[in-house]
C-alpha cells in the first residue's frame, strides 16, 4: 500500500468549497489535474475521469463512487485493468477549521500487485497534480 496526500487551507466556508468540488462541468475552468470528470456523485455510480499522465497522454479511469458526505467527504475507487493489480482510492476531505476557513485534503491510497513497479514513475506527477488541483480550488473558492 502506498499513499499520497496534499492539504491546503482555504479561506471559504465548507459549502462553497463543496459546491465547487461537486460541479464537475466547471473543472476545466480552474483545475489543471483532471481534464474531465463526469457522471453522478452518488454511491455506487461510475464516473468517467480523464487526466494527463506523466508522458502527456490522456488516461481514462472509470471509478465507482464510494462515499458522498455533503460538505465533508467524497471518495471513489478506481482500477487500472483488473481489480487488485493497481487500485486507487481517491479521497477529498473538507474540515471546517474556523468560521469561513477549511482544511481541504486530497489523498489517494494505492494498492495492488503493480503499485511498486509504477510508484517512482507516477507518484511525483500525481502529487504535483494534487497540488495544482488544490491551489485551483483555493483560488476559485476565495474569489
Whose CA is closest to 131, among 34, 8, 2, 3? Answer: 8
Mean pLDDT of all residues in 22-50: 93
Which pTM value belongs to this model?
0.93
Domains of the chain, first to last: 2-141 (3.30.530.20)
Band the pLDDT of 118: cuts 50, 70, 90: confident
Band the pLDDT of 56: cuts 50, 70, 90: confident
Segment (H or E) for 75: strand 73-79
Amino acid at each position: 500500500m502506498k499513499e499520497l496526500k496534499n492539504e491546503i487551507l482555504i479561506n471559504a466556508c465548507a459549502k462553497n468549497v463543496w459546491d465547487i468540488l461537486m460541479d464537475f462541468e466547471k473543472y476545466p475552468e480552474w483545475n489543471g489535474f483532471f481534464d474531465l470528470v463526469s457522471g453522478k456523485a452518488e454511491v455506487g455510480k461510475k464516473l468517467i475521469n480523464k487526466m494527463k499522465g506523466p508522458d502527456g497522454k490522456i488516461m481514462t479511469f472509470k471509478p465507482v463512487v464510494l462515499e458522498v458526505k455533503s460538505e465533508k467527504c467524497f471518495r471513489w475507487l478506481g482500477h487500472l485493468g483488473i481489480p487488485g493489480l493497481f487500485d486507487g482510492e481517491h479521497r477529498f476531505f473538507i474540515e471546517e477549521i474556523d468560521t469561513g476557513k477549511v482544511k481541504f485534503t486530497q489523498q489517494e491510497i494505492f494498492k495492488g500487485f503493480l503499485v511498486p513497479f509504477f510508484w517512482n514513475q507516477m507518484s511525483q506527477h500525481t502529487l504535483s497534480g494534487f497540488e495544482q488541483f488544490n491551489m485551483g480550488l483555493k483560488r476559485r473558492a476565495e474569489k
